Amino acid sequence: MRDFAIPIGHRPGEVSRVATALARKDVNIKSIAGLGIGNQAMLHVLPDDVEAARAALTESRIPFEERELVTVLLENKAGEVAEVTGKLANAGVNLHAIYVVGLEGDLVELALAPDDAKKAKKVLE
């Protein structure tokens, strides 16, 4: 899984512009998150087809940064996210994004976009 971080303007139509570019290449969005601050926003997208998403954004001249994701399966209870993120922080791993990508019973699957995926995987083994 890969994370696409896409800087956009914080105004009507920006998310639609990105979603339309992805749809033209038949890319399904598995997860999406965004946050606007002032006139700027950051959109994070997890596509089902990384190559097609990369091509769609490039062809549409939409700038993006791409990162490898690390997934973890946790119990759906208080303290689980704190434990995982604490381990990463203690190892000096910074997170660019975090997503809930699945829920099943008492379990939650998180996708983490760390600055060092290899180190994050080792820490979370």
- Could you write out the DSSP letters of every residue in 31-65? EEEEEEETTEEEEEEEES-HHHHHHHHHHTT---E
Q: Please report, for the domain that includes residue 60, its CATH number.
A: 3.30.2130.10
Nearest-angstrom CA–CA distance, 112 and 46: 11
Q: How confident is the model at residue 116, as a pLDDT?
A: 96
Neighbours of 13 (CB within 10 A): 10
Q: How confident is the model at residue 33, as a pLDDT?
A: 93
Q: What are phi and psi of 86, to 5 degrees?
A: -65, -45
* Alpha-helical regions (H) of the chain: 14-24, 50-59, 80-90, 117-123
Q: Pick from 67, 82, 110: which residue ends a domain?
A: 67
Orientation angle between helical segments 50-59 and 14-24, nearest 10 degrees? 120
Q: How confident is the model at residue 8, as a pLDDT?
A: 96
Please write the tens of the pLDDT for every residue from 49-64: 999 999 999 999 999 9
Closest listed residue to residue 112, CA positions, set 68, 78, 76: 68
Token digits for 107? 């379990």
- Give me the number of domains the chain comprises: 2
Question: Where residue 44 falls among pLDDT bands split at 50, 70, 90?
Answer: very high
Please write the tens of the pLDDT for every residue from 65-85: 999 999 999 999 999 999 999
Q: How confident is the model at residue 62, as a pLDDT?
A: 98
Please write the tens of the pLDDT for every residue from 81-117: 999 999 999 999 999 999 899 998 999 999 999 999 9
Looking at the structure, do residues 59 and 78 belong to the same domain, yes or no?
Answer: no
Q: How confident is the model at residue 4, as a pLDDT?
A: 98
Looking at the structure, do residues 77 and 102 belong to the same domain, yes or no?
Answer: yes
- The residue range of the domain holding 35 is 2-67
